[in-house]
Amino acid sequence: MIIDCHGHYTTAPKGLQVWRDEQLAALKTPGRLAEKGSVHISDDEIRESVEKAQLKLQRERGTDVTVFSPRASAMGHHLGDATTSRHWTEHCNDLIHRVCELYPENFVGVCQLPQTPSDPLAGCIAELERCVNGLGFIGCNLNPDPSGGYWGAPPLTDQYWYPFYEKMVELDVPAMVHVSASCNPNFHTTGAHYINADTTAFMQLLTADLFKDIPGLRLIIPHGGGAVPYHWGRYRGLAQDLKRPPLDELIHGHVFFDTCVYHMAGIELLLKIIPVDNILFGSEMVGAVRGIDPQTGQYFDDTKRYVDASALSAADKQKIFEGNARRVYPRINDRLKPQTA
């Protein structure tokens, strides 16, 4: 079985954006109360939106199930207030739930959180509980920068976040550290802000004792860990200079990188440098890069091809494709058939 740990609902039917546009327009109307209202999307629209995209690509590429969450760039935590974020988040998560109910063998849910810049954890515990206990979700996407590129929240290692981490551990779910769109003109969303956030989060983890304080915490750093594997020597050297634990020890059981790296040389570096137990198969499809690589004739984000073509043993590939995901997201085991290998 091949589990893709990183998929967003980037193809959601237009009813979702209609609702969001109206919500944001209402914010500009003085005196108008925020109302949750309803998102109008039919099951057929949902079917059409994934049949032509994620499901088609799953079939073509030979992957089985996608750990599926709302479109990351649209989380927009910097827009409006805590109520804005809560209403939008609940609708987005409910829509993911509908996809997972329609296609229980193909999608397992991961939730967006109702974060805001003024209170980066506002309502997050309640929404996590609702999604995990109520909707059968298996993880969440945690935004370390709800300001959208101005980085005003405390570092992820600050005790500010601990109550949320404790709830994650209690529910036995991991978080993918994932920012949303950048509203800072310096940062292109998918070309800079996403990658920078990954690098930033890793360095925060390197310099603090978060996993000593919360031993059950598991975090996924997406996009192949940002710059981290490429600069592994720098990070090993910094850890040593700063008298921090060796990196393999830091990440063991706690930090996982996905395979969203869109060329063979990058994947080879990732697989060579990062312990195999810390790598999860992911493709970010349909996501940041949608074209075909003229050098290969294949989709840039068809990352399964790169892992397939690597020199890893079959056992190691099985870990990356399935085994590790079952460890990192243990609740996935209730949703899927038992492990085959």
Question: Does 162 help bind a second copy (rule: CB under 8 A)?
Answer: no
What type of residue is 197?
A: A
Question: Does 261 help bind a second copy (rule: CB under 8 A)?
Answer: yes
Closest CB 238 distance from a second copy, rounded Å? 5
**What mask, x for binding a second copy by CB under 8 A, covers residues 297 to 336?**
---xx-----------------------------------
Give the total of residues touching a second copy (CB under 8 A). Answer: 57
Distances (CA, A) of 334 to 104, 268, 313, 329: 11, 32, 28, 10
Question: Does 231 help bind a second copy (rule: CB under 8 A)?
Answer: yes
Question: Does 288 help bind a second copy (rule: CB under 8 A)?
Answer: yes
Measured from the CB atom, is 33 or 311 closer to a second copy?
A: 311
DSSP string, 72-95: STT--TTSS-HHHHHHHHHHHHHH
Distance CA 295, CA 288 (A): 19
How many CB atoms neighbour CB 64 within 10 A?
16
**Sole window of 70-78, 113-121, 195-203, 248-256 interacting with a second copy (rule: CB under 8 A):** 195-203
> Binding a second copy by CB under 8 A: which of 40, 56, 272, 337?
272
**Sole window of 11-19, 44-52, 249-257, 261-269 interacting with a second copy (rule: CB under 8 A):** 261-269
Classify the C-alpha dihedral 164-282-20-97 as positive or negative: negative
Distance CA 149, CA 181 (A): 8
Measured from the CB atom, is 83 or 204 closer to a second copy?
A: 204
> Binding a second copy by CB under 8 A: which of 33, 265, 311, 314?
265
What ranges in the chain are assigned the alpha helix state H?
14-27, 43-51, 54-61, 82-102, 124-129, 135, 162-171, 194-206, 210-213, 232-241, 247-251, 264-273, 303-309, 314-318, 324-328
Question: Does 46 help bind a second copy (rule: CB under 8 A)?
Answer: no
Token pair listed for 96 = 């993911």
**Sole window of 29-37, 171-179, 183-191, 251-259 interacting with a second copy (rule: CB under 8 A):** 183-191
Distance CA 334, CA 101 (A): 14
Question: Does 180 help bind a second copy (rule: CB under 8 A)?
Answer: no
- Regarding beta strands 279-280 and 255-258, do their DSSP bridges make them parallel or antiparallel, or are they unpaired? parallel
284 is catalytic: yes
Binding site for a second copy (CB under 8 A): 144-145, 149-151, 153-155, 184-188, 190-192, 195-196, 199-200, 203-204, 206-207, 223-224, 226-227, 229-238, 240-241, 261-266, 269, 272-273, 288-291, 293-294, 300-301
Question: Which active-site residues does the annotation give?
Answer: 284
